[in-house]
């Protein structure tokens, strides 16, 4: 007999008929000999309706009252659902977050779960009842009891957290699509269903806009090794399993806030090439990286900064042994990039930096926990180490620094995050529950000529797709700050301020160009955030800019971010080139580029977002032969 947590989303319980159909499914699971805890979302579009109602009263509703309001949606669905089970003769009881004891931080509208009391649920289960728990809500117990919510889409997180706390055999997320697909089937109907995906890939996809799972649910599944599957509540198809690495032992306290970083990596075998003043027009990145791929040069990080005037800077890192080849390509192509139809439009400079190292913190939910990157930057600042390039992703934040500083950086970071650098040695993937899942072996440890490298990648990259999925985020905004002093501590100050307001930052890009103003070298920094946070972030940074003498703060909300994710892209030359080429072929201009080991993101104009997603999905041959039916 298994203990199963089943979560049903809004559409799955959107009507009386759907509630009855889902009750039948739960009833069957119990009759098959299992104990079942059901987690529910509010029925249909109830939460959207409540948000709209609040905005009819107030432009900026009080966050505590928002939680009071939104948490009512789930209370309705759990009560109705328990009644439906009871009608089938199945004993059931509904419980709110308060009644279960789902304790969260006191952070209204985006609270993280600290602890879940399991005694009451266990007692009801032992009495053969189905326990129906309200998703998305909890209580904070600092001072007086307060109702909190976890953030939109947070019922997935409630379900996986409950599964971890109850040590359930597995957690099933039932939704309105057959599982996790190569992209959103509402935008691309021939998106293909996958049997499985690694938790790192899913974390990236979820945080880059794939709404099918709440990123924090994936984070908990990964950290606690909860077998997790996404399935349709309309069919009996097996759905998609999310595979997590074998977890390190963790306590079930401070569930969503404890130990965000579990490994450190460093790589002293890297060099950086920057091309300055590259014309800002479609096709330039495709041309550059196409040529690089043809020479079989594998690039690691790529960053394209926002443009000043009508030119961009593009920087990338390569392994030292292939630097000469990469530099030759860059030098050969620079004059070509600087001309338009044979007419010279500007001078593209090539800059090579040999003495760099990349240090990274590895974990889950790096973007979702804004304090983590800020702490990394602050730690490097305290050690007086300047950051040359930053790459962020949900599973890793990397900084490129001077190679001379690498040892000090690693020592400071391992103290700050309480992790051993040697800890980064092995990583086995654990099959997620039911059989048939591939188990790629972890691989690490390489010493290349002239450098030392401690990095984990999956050696069986051939068994992992190069691109697993494509995501589109149309709810992002870009903030740029001009002329920030280029010295240790700047990134720490900037992102520390945003972290204090709980604002998560995704793509972070420092311009390669440096301008000396009043004797101080200065660069521009740009980054993306969710549009919801844009106003607060802009105000905060404008105040800081006035105080610290930074330049103008520029906000652009009309952007879209399109990303590819795949664990198999590690050490595969040409992946970025293919993505850029797909955009170039459709005359879509790339405004910003950032990469991490398993993702590449491009910012394009908002109105080109959907088109960009479609052409990239097609370019990587991800379409299936069937069209996915999605309920309206």
Looking at the Cβ atoms of 58 and 629, the one nearer to ligand ADP is: 629
Q: Which does 465 bind (CB under 5 to 8 A by kind): Mg ion, ligand ASP, ligand ADP, none?
A: none
Provide the greatest CA pair distance for the chain. 81
C-alpha to C-alpha distance for 457 and 629, rounded to whole angstroms: 36
Task: Please select the residue that binds ligand ASP; options are 154, 433, 568, 574, rule is CB under 6 A.
Answer: 154
CB of residue 250 to Mg ion, shortest distance in Å: 25
DSSP code for 114? E
Find all residues with CB under 8 Å of 495, minimum gap 6, and list them: 370, 373, 374, 377, 505, 508
Q: Are 34 and 3 in contact (CB under 8 A)?
A: yes
Q: Which stretch binds ligand ADP (CB under 6 A): 5-13, 124-132, 325-333, 376-384?
A: 5-13
C-alpha to C-alpha distance for 36 and 85, rounded to whole angstroms: 12
| Residue 148 within binding range of ligand ASP, rule CB under 6 A | no
Burial class (CB in 10 A: 0-12, 13-18, 19+), 420: exposed
CB of residue 152 to Mg ion, shortest distance in Å: 8
| Residue 183 within binding range of ligand ADP, rule CB under 6 A | yes
Torsion angle of the four alpha carbons 121, 123, 127, 128, in this order, in degrees rounded to the nearest 10: 30
Listed in sequence order, the DSSP H helices in 346-480 are 370-382, 406-417
The closest alpha carbon to 95, from 64, 117, 66, belongs to: 117
C-alpha to C-alpha distance for 540 and 557, rounded to whole angstroms: 17
Q: Which two tokens stand for residue 541?
A: 């940074």
The closest alpha carbon to 132, from 6, 44, 37, belongs to: 37
Residues in the chain: 632
Contact positions with ligand ADP (CB under 6 A) in 474-513:
none
Looking at the Cβ atoms of 102 and 261, the one nearer to ligand ASP is: 102
Quote the distance between the C-alpha of residue 551 and its chain's center: 30
| Residue 432 within binding range of ligand ASP, rule CB under 6 A | no
The closest alpha carbon to 473, from 396, 389, 367, 372, belongs to: 367
| Residue 469 within binding range of ligand ADP, rule CB under 6 A | yes
Q: Per-residue contact track with Mg ion, 103 to 142, x per CB under 5 A?
A: ----------------------------------------
| Residue 9 within binding range of ligand ADP, rule CB under 6 A | yes
The sign of the CA dihedral 178, 179, 184, 190 is negative
Size of site (CB under 5 A) for Mg ion: 2
CB of residue 352 to ligand ADP, shortest distance in Å: 39
Measured from each CB, the residue nearest to ligand ADP is 9
Size of site (CB under 6 A) for ligand ADP: 19
| Residue 153 within binding range of Mg ion, rule CB under 5 A | yes
Task: Please select the residue that binds ligand ASP; options are 5, 6, 10, 264, rule is CB under 6 A.
Answer: 10
Residue 121, CB-side half-sphere exposure with 13 Å CA sphere: 29
Q: Which does 42 bind (CB under 5 to 8 A by kind): ligand ADP, Mg ion, ligand ASP, none?
A: ligand ASP
Looking at the Cβ atoms of 55 and 354, the one nearer to ligand ASP is: 55
| Residue 451 within binding range of Mg ion, rule CB under 5 A | no
Contact positions with ligand ASP (CB under 6 A) in 68-127:
73
Q: Which stretch binds Mg ion (CB under 5 A): 9-17, 219-227, 523-531, 532-540?
A: 9-17
Looking at the Cβ atoms of 154 and 469, the one nearer to ligand ASP is: 154
Q: Which does 574 bind (CB under 5 to 8 A by kind): ligand ADP, Mg ion, ligand ASP, none?
A: none
CB of residue 302 to Mg ion, shortest distance in Å: 32
C-alpha to C-alpha distance for 516 and 505, rounded to whole angstroms: 27
| Residue 338 within binding range of Mg ion, rule CB under 5 A | no
Looking at the Cβ atoms of 136 and 620, the one nearer to ligand ASP is: 136
Contact positions with ligand ADP (CB under 6 A) in 613-632:
630
Contact positions with ligand ASP (CB under 6 A) in 20-79:
41-42, 47, 73
C-alpha to C-alpha distance for 290 and 564, rounded to whole angstroms: 17
Looking at the Cβ atoms of 73 and 574, the one nearer to ligand ASP is: 73
Element (DSSP H or E) covering residue 393: strand 389-393
CB of residue 179 to ligand ADP, shortest distance in Å: 7
| Residue 44 within binding range of ligand ADP, rule CB under 6 A | no
Q: Which does 135 bind (CB under 5 to 8 A by kind): Mg ion, ligand ASP, ligand ADP, none?
A: ligand ASP
Taking the CB of residue 593, how many other CB atoms lie within 10 A of it?
25
Looking at the Cβ atoms of 7 and 427, the one nearer to ligand ASP is: 7
| Residue 47 within binding range of ligand ADP, rule CB under 6 A | no
Find all residues with CB under 8 Å of 251, minimum gap 6, and list them: 258
| Residue 233 within binding range of ligand ASP, rule CB under 6 A | no
Looking at the Cβ atoms of 64 and 152, the one nearer to ligand ASP is: 152
Q: Per-residue contact track with ligand ADP, 156 to 175, x per CB under 6 A?
A: -------------------x
Contact positions with ligand ADP (CB under 6 A) in 204-263:
210-212
Looking at the Cβ atoms of 255 and 509, the one nearer to ligand ASP is: 255
CB of residue 221 to ligand ADP, shortest distance in Å: 15
CB of residue 452 to ligand ASP, shortest distance in Å: 45
Looking at the Cβ atoms of 80 and 285, the one nearer to ligand ASP is: 80
Find all residues with CB under 8 Å of 19, minimum gap 6, and list them: 13, 43, 77, 80, 81, 84
Q: Which two tokens stand for residue 299?
A: 């690039």
The CA-based angle 8-122-39, given to 5 degrees, is 10
Q: Which residue's structure tokens are 């947070």?
A: 154
Task: Please select the residue that binds ligand ASP; options are 82, 155, 199, 398, rule is CB under 6 A.
Answer: 155
Exposure class string for 298-324: b at 16+ Cβ within 10 A, else e = bbbbbbbbbbbeebbbbbbbbbbebbe
The closest alpha carbon to 240, from 187, 198, 189, belongs to: 198
Question: SS3 sequence, 123-151?
Answer: HHHHCCCEEEEECCEEEECCCCCEEEECC
Looking at the Cβ atoms of 72 and 259, the one nearer to ligand ASP is: 72
CB of residue 9 to Mg ion, shortest distance in Å: 5
Q: Which residue's structure tokens are 């900037």?
A: 494
Size of site (CB under 6 A) for ligand ASP: 12
Please report, as ranges, the residues that interact with ligand ADP according to CB under 6 A.
9-12, 41, 153, 175-177, 180-181, 183-184, 186, 210-212, 469, 630
List residues binding ligand ASP (CB under 6 A): 9-10, 41-42, 47, 73, 135-136, 152-155
Residues forming the site for Mg ion (CB under 5 A): 9, 153
């Amino acid at each position: 007999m298994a203990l199963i947590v089943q979560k049903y989303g809004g559409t799955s319980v959107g009507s009386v008929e759907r509630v009855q159909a889902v009750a039948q499914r739960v009833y069957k699971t119990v009759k098959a000999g299992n104990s079942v805890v059901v987690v529910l979302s509010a029925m249909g579009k109830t939460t959207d309706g409540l948000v709209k109602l609040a905005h009819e009263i107030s432009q900026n509703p009080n966050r505590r009252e928002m939680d009071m309001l939104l948490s009512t949606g789930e209370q309705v669905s759990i009560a109705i659902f328990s009644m439906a089970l009871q009608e089938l003769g199945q004993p059931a009881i509904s419980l709110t977050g308060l009644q279960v004891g789902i304790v969260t931080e006191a952070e209204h509208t985006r609270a993280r779960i600290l602890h879940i009391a399991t005694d009451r649920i266990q007692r009801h289960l032992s009495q053969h009842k189905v326990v129906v728990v309200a998703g998305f809500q909890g209580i904070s117990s600092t001072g007086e009891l307060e109702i909190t919510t976890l953030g939109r889409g947070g019922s997935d997180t409630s379900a996986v957290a409950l599964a971890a706390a109850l040590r359930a055999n597995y957690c099933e997320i039932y939704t309105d699509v057959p599982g996790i697909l190569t992209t959103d089937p509402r935008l691309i109907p021939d998106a293909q269903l996958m049997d499985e995906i690694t938790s790192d890939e899913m974390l990236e996809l979820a945080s880059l806009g794939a709404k099918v799972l709440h990123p924090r649910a994936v984070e908990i599944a990964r950290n606690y090794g909860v077998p997790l599957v996404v399935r349709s509540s309309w069919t009996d198809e097996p759905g998609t399993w999310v595979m997590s690495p074998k977890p390190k032992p963790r306590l079930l306290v401070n569930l969503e806030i404890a130990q965000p970083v579990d490994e450190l990596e460093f790589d002293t075998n890297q060099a950086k090439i920057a091309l300055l003043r590259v014309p800002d027009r479609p096709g330039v990145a495709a041309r550059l990286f196409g040529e690089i791929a043809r020479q079989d040069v594998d690039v690691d990080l790529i960053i394209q900064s926002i443009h000043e005037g009508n030119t961009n800077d593009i920087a990338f890192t390569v392994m030292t042994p292939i630097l000469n080849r990469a530099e030759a390509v860059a030098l050969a192509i620079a004059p070509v990039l600087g001309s338009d139809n044979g007419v010279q439009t500007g001078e593209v400079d090539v800059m090579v930096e040999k003495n760099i190292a990349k240090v990274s913190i590895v974990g889950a939910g790096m973007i979702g926990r804004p304090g983590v990157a800020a702490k990394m930057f602050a730690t490097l600042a305290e050690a007086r180490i300047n950051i040359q390039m930053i790459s962020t992703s949900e599973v890793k934040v990397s900084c490129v620094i001077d190679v001379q500083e690498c040892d000090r950086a690693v020592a400071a970071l391992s103290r700050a995050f309480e992790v051993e650098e040697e800890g980064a040695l092995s990583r086995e993937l654990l099959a997620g529950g039911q059989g048939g899942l591939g188990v790629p072996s972890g691989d690490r440890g390489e010493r290349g000529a002239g450098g030392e490298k401690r990095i984990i990648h999956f050696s069986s990259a051939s068994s992992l797709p190069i691109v697993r999925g494509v995501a589109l985020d149309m709810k992002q905004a870009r903030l740029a700050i001009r002329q920030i002093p280029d010295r240790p501590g700047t990134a720490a100050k900037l992102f520390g301020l945003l972290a204090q307001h709980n604002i998560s930052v995704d793509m972070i890009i420092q311009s390669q160009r440096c301008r000396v103003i009043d004797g101080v070298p200065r660069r521009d920094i740009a980054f993306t955030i969710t549009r919801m946070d844009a106003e607060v972030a802009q105000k905060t940074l404008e105040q800081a800019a006035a105080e610290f003498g930074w330049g103008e703060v520029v906000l652009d909300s009309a952007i879209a971010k399109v990303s590819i994710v795949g664990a198999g892209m590690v050490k595969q030359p040409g992946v970025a080139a293919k993505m850029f080429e797909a955009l170039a072929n459709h005359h879509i201009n790339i405004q910003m580029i950032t990469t991490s080991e398993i993702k590449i993101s491009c910012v394009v104009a908002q109105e080109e977002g959907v088109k960009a997603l479609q052409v990239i999905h097609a370019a990587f041959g991800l379409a299936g032969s069937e069209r996915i039916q999605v309920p309206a």
